[in-house]
Structure 1
Amino acid sequence: MQDLTIDELYEEFEDLPDWDERCDYLIDLGFNLPELPAEAKIEENRVHGCQSNVWLVADIKNSTPPTVEFLANSDAVIVNGLIAVIAALYSGKTPQEIIAIDAQDVFKKLGLERHLSPQRRNGLYSMVQRVRELAVQAEAQS
């Protein structure tokens, strides 16, 4: 989804002194997400547990080893920013690497655990769960 790495995201967040600026940065990231094709916005691709509508799909690259790219969109601007975080964390990794990532640790380091509302946090973890499910499916296919 994005060419942003999680390390670059850490650096950006460190340079922003307060949550309001970090939130604005997340919203800006969301505006730069590629658009999910309309035909992908179907119930099968919807992430359940999110306050807003989120659709997420995986594209398994036939590399050696196979890697997974994620494409997702939401109807909420801040959630699109969180999708950019998910992409930085997971896209381009192997299914095994995806499954091994401790997302909660990353979210704590970024301050998302502390600053997101409980509903947004639940939605974020619902996206993580969907990514992990898709990684398990991709691993089973390889």
Structure 2
Amino acid sequence: MNTKDVLDAFEMLDTWEARYELIGDLSRELLPVAESEKTDANLVKGCNTQTWLTGNLTDDDPPLIEYRADAETPLVRGLVALLLVPFQRKSPEAVLETDPRPYIAGIGLAEHLSANRRAGMEHFIERVFQIAQHLRRQ
């Protein structure tokens, strides 16, 4: 799914129960993190639920980032998948130019999360940018 697909789906789904079901479905689209990658270096600091995020460049021309993620709970895995939509399979430069705020506002996510989950979301997005910055230098 791309950001437009997600925004359209959230607009069509009139209850948060239905939206959470979609978020759960998105978790199945996550590229998996290998057990060997579930290290402190790939742990997203600031998340209450253990969440791992890593990324590699593809062989495409130009190279694109493929983010891989996992979390301890199904809900957080779904939220992670939802947050990765605007960034997945973009060049490091495009990721760094992406402002996720309109996307997050468009789906109304921030106001439906607890303060702890909102803080975790911000830490997760910060980690997305850190990975892009690192991969841009390669």
| 1:78-118: CA deviation from partner (whole Å, max 9, x where unpaired) | 11111111231111101111011111221111111111111
Shift of 1:34: 4.0
Which residue in the other structure is 1:104 paired with? 101
Which residue in the other structure is 1:18 paired with? 15
Q: If the length of structure 2 is used for normalisation, what is the TM-score? A: 0.93
Q: Which amino acid aligns with 1:128?
A: I
Which residue in the other structure is 1:88 paired with? 85
Q: Which runs of 4+ in 1 moved over 4 A?
A: none
Q: Which amino acid aligns with 2:100?
A: A
Superposed, 1:1-142 pairs within 5 Å as 4-141=1-138
Shift of 1:31: 4.2
Q: If the length of structure 1 is used for normalisation, what is the TM-score? A: 0.91
* Aligned-residue CA RMSD (Å): 1.3
| 1:31-70: CA deviation from partner (whole Å, max 9, x where unpaired) | 4534321101111100001110000110111322221010
- The farther-off stretch of 21-30 and 6-15 is 21-30
| Contact residue 56 and residue 135 of structure 2 kept, 8 A | no
Q: Unaligned stretches of 5+ in structure 1?
A: none
Shift of 1:26: 0.8
Q: Percent identity?
A: 28
For the residues of structure 2 that align with 1:55 and 1:23, how far apart are their CA atoms?
21
For the residues of structure 2 that align with 1:57 and 1:80, how far apart are their CA atoms?
14
Between the two proteins, the alignment pairs up a number of residues equal to 138
